[in-house]
Structure 1
Amino acid sequence: MTTIAEPVPSAGLAPVPAELVGRRVHVRVPATTANLGPGFDTLGLALADYDELDIEVQGSGLEIEVHGVGEGEVPLDDRHLVVRAMRHVFADFGFELPGLKLVAHNTIPHGRGMGSSGAAIVAGVMAVKGILEGVVEVSSQDALRLSTDLEGHPDNVAPGLFGGLTIAWTTPEGPRSKRLNVHRGVSPLVLVPGSSMSTELARSLQPVTVPHEDAVFNVSRSALLIAALIQSPELLLAATEDKLHQSYRAQAMPETDALVQSLRAAGHAAVVSGAGPSVLVLASDPAERLAAVRIAEGQPSPWEARMLAVDFKGATVEVR
């Protein structure tokens, strides 16, 4: 834990109402996986693995504790991503960042393609939603807009906010998303390596243009993937084929690529989770997940198997 001086108030912003001092909120945000193979920068899925935060409004100052993933590694001052997100949301509604005490209990791995940065941003947005309850209404569309401001891509935050399978897109009026329920037979498995991967590095490996036939290929597989996830899980292997991004990134994570190829050769719908290096397997039943784990156990490098359910609630905030 660290304590730092209260940030200098920003010009034109008002302090939060005095009656909010002492208000406490509890935030719970799921892990997410984006792309799902062909749905590059569009599709996302919420997973039942959670970061939880308790935040209290104080008269001044900033106190941060981090337990679990990131403990001893993430900054314990106003550079903390949750605090940065909260400052952005407060400012959007005309308020200064108040004094805060933040206690985080993290389980989502950092830099592994499971949406840890998006979860932190969503947590900050939802925390402010709870803190300002009764003063300002932060709508679902506000939450998506503000989260996307910081994350850059709505597909990385939409599933964390809303749960389930999300389709995200941008318009001149801002980001939009549609939530869909996932077929109960879909059983996600995330295989997490010991090494991390920079999203910025992964994106830098993408070509500026792709062949027309590759674009058409991915359009067809993306449409098929939505059908597979909500109605026909038996189509998941074909539906998760991709030609837009995974092959270009393979050189930066050869162990991930080798595992994906081994799993797919054995009939498993395996893809890179987000920007990687974790591997997502969309199994059609729990027994298939166990078979996929055995393949991962036979790899030269170790992989942590996380057998997760689909999260259907998305982020929640409770005012205490």
Structure 2
Amino acid sequence: MGRPREVRVQVPASSANLGPGFDSLGLALGLYDDVEVSASDTPGVTVEMLGEGAGRVPCDESHLVVRAMRVAFDAVGDAPAGLRLRCHNAIPHSRGLGSSAAAAVAGAVAAIVLAGRDPELERDTLLQVTAGMEGHADNAAASLFGGFVVAWETDSTAPDRELPSSGNTAGRFHAVRLDVHPGIRPLVFVAGTESLTATTRGLLPERVPLSDAAFTGSRTALAVLAFTQRPELLLPATEDRLHQPYRRPAYPESALLVDSLRARGVPATISGAGPTVLALTSDGVVPDGIDIGGFTAMELPVDAVGARVEVG
């Protein structure tokens, strides 16, 4: 496809776990980060930040988009001497909507295109790079491929290309994309506070009761059916005993909002590591009497496409 000098990548937000599917289920949502990247013959990196994260994240080689580009270039070669980036972010940071995965996807896709590769033919490389940086594939796969994804990891089996410094040395990542039932209209309730994945993961026990593991496994299987064919089953399909009960101290207001929505028959979960709440409605309406003080409610359509590319 040649080696373009400019590329624009638009990447959707994502909600991971979706209740029981810890590190395995993801959903792409219609809220986007836009990244424009230009190759330069002059060594060095410049980053301009607009929107979410502006003034708070580094604008040098340590920027997450740049780091993802470096990992992708290491995988396929042909890195330009210099890079100029302009990032316009709409995905809130540290809220459980996959902002870090979206940044990794934007960088990896941009690098693949600038290296003259077809991203459709490099889907596996993109997944290994982005999921490797995250440590799990649910958010990254949803942002890459759109729709509803089921993701998993297997032991390493001598990949075709080595992916240095991806952050993952244990195995390889895989994901299957499925279409979401058209009757599902997601609402997100974005909290005013932030939550760090590392903090919430630290609240999880090393062992859980067998009964809770079996319960959550059955609900994860049911979720695949509910999201794709039987949305009337979403309320039981989004029940979880594996991670959300242990994380309640990290986001008590969000947990109470989930409880309130579910008590009114609305399938609701913590989005990723929180504190955003995801509600899976059929009409995009918040039931009367639900207190959403401290949250910003947004109806976000399911994104069915994933990362989009425009070549300049």
1:138-287 matches, cutoff 5 A: 139-172=122-155, 173=157, 174-283=172-281, 285-286=282-283
Contact 1:263 1:295 in 2 (8 A): no
- The alpha-carbon distance between structure 1 residues 50 and 213, as it changes in their structure 2 partners (threshold 3 A), is same
> What amino acid is aligned across from residue 43 of structure 1 in structure 2?
L
Q: Supply the distance in 1 between the matched residues of 2:71 and 2:46 (Cα, whole angstroms).
A: 18
Tell me the CA shift for residue 317 of structure 1.
1.6
CA–CA separation in structure 2 for the residues paired with 1:150 and 1:140: 15
Paired residue secondary structure (1:43): strand
With normalisation by structure 1, the TM-score equals 0.88
Superposition deviation, residue 146 in structure 1: 1.0
Taking the aligned partners of 1:48 and 1:306, their CA distance within structure 2 comes to 10
The whole-number CA distance in structure 2 between the counterparts of 1:170 and 1:106 is 29
Contact 2:36/2:87, CA 8 A, preserved across alignment: yes
SS of 1:64's equivalent in the other structure is strand
Counterparts of 2:87 and 2:41, CA distance in 1:
20
Structure 2 matches for 1:91-130, cutoff 5 A?
91-96=74-79, 98-130=81-113
Unaligned 5+ segments in structure 1 are 1-18
1:64 Cα shift? Answer: 0.9
- One-letter amino acid of the counterpart of residue 16, structure 2: A
Q: Give the unaligned 5+ runs of structure 2.
A: 158-171
Distance in 1 between the 2:57 and 2:81 partners? 21
On the 8 A contact 2:40/2:80 being kept in 1, the answer is no
Extract structure 1 runs of 4+ deviating beyond 4 A.
134-138
Match of 1:290, SS state, is coil
Is the Cα–Cα contact under 8 Å of residues 91 and 97 in structure 1 kept in the other structure?
no
Matched with 2:286 is 291
Q: Indicate if the aligned counterparts of 1:112 and 1:277 stay in contact, CA closer than 8 A.
A: yes
Instruction: Give per-residue Cα distances to partners, 1:118-176, cap 9 Å, x unaligned.
Output: 00000011001211125998611111011122111011200000000000011123111
Asked if 1:86 is matched to 2:69, the reply is: yes
How far is the alpha carbon of 1:106 from its aligned partner?
Answer: 0.6
Partner of 2:295: 303
Cα distance between partner residues in 1 of 2:58 and 2:229: 43
Q: Which moved more, 1:126-135 or 1:179-188?
A: 126-135
Please report the RMSD computed on the Cα atoms of aligned residues, expressed in angstroms.
1.7
* Letter in structure 2 aligned against 1:143: L
Distance of aligned partners of 1:99 and 1:211 in 2 relative to their CA distance in 1, 3 Å threshold: same
The aligned residue for residue 37 of structure 1 is 19
Q: How many residues align?
A: 295
TM-score normalized by the length of structure 2: 0.91
State, as a whole percentage, how many aligned pairs show the same letter.
47
| Distance in 1 between residues matched to 2:227 and 2:195, nearest whole Å | 27
Asked whether the 8 Å contact 2:150–2:176 carries over to 1, the reply is yes
Q: Any conservation in 1 of the 2:14–2:29 contact (CA below 8 Å)?
A: yes
CA contact (8 A) 2:138 2:149 kept: yes
TM-superposed CA distance for 1:218, in Å, is 0.7
Paired residue secondary structure (1:263) = helix
Query: Which letter maps to 1:76?
Result: C
The answer to whether 1:47 aligns with 2:29 is yes
Greater radius of gyration (CA): 1
Q: Distance in 2 between matches of 1:318 and 1:291?
A: 36
- Which residue in 2 is equivalent to 1:62? 45
Query: Post-superposition shift, 1:94?
Result: 3.5
CA distance in 2, matches of 1:135, 1:240: 37
Give the partner amino acid of 1:29. Answer: V
Change (3 A) 1:291 1:99: same
Kept after mapping to 2: 8 A contact 1:129/1:137: no
